[in-house]
A = this chain, B = another copy of it.
């Protein structure tokens, strides 16, 4: 049976997280962060991971300088969204609603969080109206 390649792999995610944490960075900087005692091979690993991330639209490369600087395009929120959508596609015929329902039923929310959620539901009402006008 066909397997589904991962969208953003674990190692790619580690690179993304390093970019989220420190902002735009060079391969050298990322390698030192991810592999403190790394050698040439690890530099090349990070390079390859960035290349794949770039191909997937997860990072952008600035080639202006001789040493390229990479920045995250995909932030945590967006990645969460991608993963939720992929899960909905696989398990819920594409609908996000079962995921939402499940979370509401199982997540222990503080009164503050509940209020926040109610506000989100109400504000979710309003953009819809604006979109109509």
Contacts and interface: CB of A to CB of B under 8 A. Distances in A.
Interface of A: 1-4, 9-11, 13-14, 34, 76-77, 79-81, 83-84, 87, 90-92, 96-109, 113-114, 116-118, 120-121, 124-125, 128
A77 B114 CA distance: 22
A125 B109 CA distance: 9
Contacts of A83: 87, 91
Contact of A106 (B14, B76, B81): B81
Nearest to A49: B1
Contacts of A91: 76, 79-80, 83
Contacts of A81: 102, 106
Contacts of A79: 91
Contacts of A76: 91-92
10 contacts: A1-B10, A2-B10, A13-B90, A96-B107, A97-B109, A99-B99, A100-B100, A100-B104, A103-B103, A104-B120
A120 B100 CA distance: 11
A14 B1 CA distance: 9
A34 B90 CA distance: 17
